[in-house]
Structure 1
């Protein structure tokens, strides 16, 4: 089997997850050295190991080095099999990142699949379950992917315990799309999730967002998790334009006032509204792989992040495509060519 050599020190967990996705989609194996070498805790953590084991299970892969703390990994995939799968991270590690690792391979399978994932659903360093359902999946739907996500139980750090269930239909060929113009603003919606904390905290966050954007601050937009597995709080806004949807989160922290959590979110949303680019920073690097599988497409975004750069270069190792980007006025345009 063809094997691609990857320097894992050039990125974090995303580099590993992207390599797993690409390996599953192409049937090309890889060997990664120095995994997460520049992180405070190098090597595979529990969520990374879950992604590796999940990718191996859906493809019958041969794997060497799949162990906690491992800094080298060899992954040789077999054919991806659609099915009904369940994976538990066993910590508050992100369940959504495991989901994003598997989705591209499963939509290329011959029949539908269902995934049940247990772990963290709202982590500061990962896309939230709300981001996946409100922003990521609608963007994929424009390209032809039919997938749905249900959040059964929210899970926060450090308790975890969240439960997600996703279904994905077969989609053998993606359609190239241009995410260039977002169109007129249609709606702004705010929601707050609180677990193991007073609902009044969420209401204070909503009130700040209502003052800034005029969103509905009715208490029904505060979801209180019962029973609470542990403390957690996230304030969110969904921005609906005529041609695109973006979702933004701000996570509560010990010692950070509710007004500051909401204020941080408001600043992020305002920057997006003022910027004019279609795709937000977090979605931008996540669109690269489906664009490459479609063989074309483009988007506008406010900046070229390190995640986007490293992801683009990795994808080019597995697929016969080239990414390029150029600044055009106040934002950047990113495109892919065969």
Structure 2
């Protein structure tokens, strides 16, 4: 039994999600105490419970102490069964984070699967659907499996109501080296909004354009049906030959369109200026598939505490070590062995 203190390291929900995924793949049970111990509201929220419930269903597993607000669970994995699955978070909780929990176990399950997820698709503190689809999954494809994701309906906080559909064609994960971006292909962006004034998106575009200096028309407005709102997100995309980076800014009360756009644009400018393959959020997500492939190497911007915590959990379950190598004047080199 692996015992994990959920307040150590980054101290968030990622500890729970990665532990569940690794338990299903390795067959090792675990117990987490102090789950999400460093959050303002410790304990599991609805989206974390849904992620564990999804894992129970695909993996014939057992989990003791699972309820919203719990700070301790004990998880006993079973055998992962590919198939058709449908999970509803029930709020605007992130569908993407639930998918992260069950994706790798289903990829390695030996048969095709289809997963429908309902809830939030574009919400703060989680990767939006576009990031998963265009940044993360293409790297997974290079490793062997094929995962096709479709956004059926946007789901913004606090309403939720979004829907994504995911088809998984499994294959063994093979180690890769992802150290070079390749040539720049395109710079683009979208300011999406639903059931909000058009002026918000227009101001976001103007502010982002001013900071980035991209070609006029590179960032466009996309109005969504009112019933998918209210909601707003700015997505900035840099597509390279071997990798795509998407930086997002989420509209929320008390944050001006100009401030949101400037912050997102500065983050994108920082990524473009570097030569790293992976931005901070992609780096977090690549650790698990690289470890389950048996190793691999990629370059990254400075690793976050999120990434270092994920690496620690991976070592607990697999014994594989992640080395974050700082190189003066060059991107960090992340090597998993």
* Shorter-chain TM band: over 0.9
Measured after TM superposition, the shift of residue 261 of structure 1 is 2.0
Measured after TM superposition, the shift of residue 163 of structure 1 is 0.9
Query: How do 1:44-59 and structure 2 match up within 5 A?
Result: 44-59=44-59
Residue aligning to 2:119: 119
Measured after TM superposition, the shift of residue 255 of structure 1 is 3.2
- Residue 202 of structure 1 aligns to a residue in which SS? helix
1: CA distance between counterparts of 2:244 and 2:319?
30
State the TM-score, normalizing by the size of structure 2.
Answer: 0.95
Structure 2: tracts of 5 or more residues without a match? none
Contact kept? 2:156, 2:230, Cα under 8 Å: yes
Contact kept? 2:187, 2:218, Cα under 8 Å: no
Deviations 1:253-297 (A, max 9, x none): 223332222211110110001122111000101111111111121
Q: 1:215 to 1:83 in 2, by over 3 A?
A: farther
Measured after TM superposition, the shift of residue 210 of structure 1 is 3.8
Contact kept? 1:190, 1:209, Cα under 8 Å: no
Measured after TM superposition, the shift of residue 189 of structure 1 is 1.2
- Residue 287 of structure 1 aligns to a residue in which SS? helix
1: CA distance between counterparts of 2:134 and 2:218?
21
Contact kept? 2:189, 2:218, Cα under 8 Å: no
2: CA distance between counterparts of 1:304 and 1:215?
31
2: CA distance between counterparts of 1:41 and 1:229?
28
State the TM-score, normalizing by the size of structure 1.
Answer: 0.95
Residue aligning to 1:42: 42
Structure 1: tracts of 5 or more residues without a match? none
1:9 alignment partner, one of 2, 7, 10: 7
Contact kept? 2:193, 2:229, Cα under 8 Å: no
Contact kept? 1:203, 1:217, Cα under 8 Å: no
Q: 1:215 to 1:87 in 2, by over 3 A?
A: farther
Using the TM superposition, name which of 265-274 and 205-214 deviates more: 205-214
2: CA distance between counterparts of 1:237 and 1:251?
12
1: CA distance between counterparts of 2:185 and 2:328?
25
Deviations 1:191-240 (A, max 9, x none): 12102112332233223334434245389x42222133432111111111
Deviations 1:81-116 (A, max 9, x none): 111111111111111000111100011112111111
Query: How do 1:136-175 and structure 2 match up within 5 A?
Result: 136-171=136-171, 173-175=172-174
Aligned structure 1 segments of 4 or more residues deviating by more than 4 angstroms: none
Residue aligning to 1:297: 296
Residue aligning to 2:282: 283
Does residue 89 of the first structure (1) align with residue 78 of the second (2)? no
Measured after TM superposition, the shift of residue 329 of structure 1 is 1.9
1: CA distance between counterparts of 2:156 and 2:199?
19
Using the TM superposition, name which of 73-82 and 207-216 deviates more: 207-216
Using the TM superposition, name which of 252-261 and 8-17 deviates more: 252-261
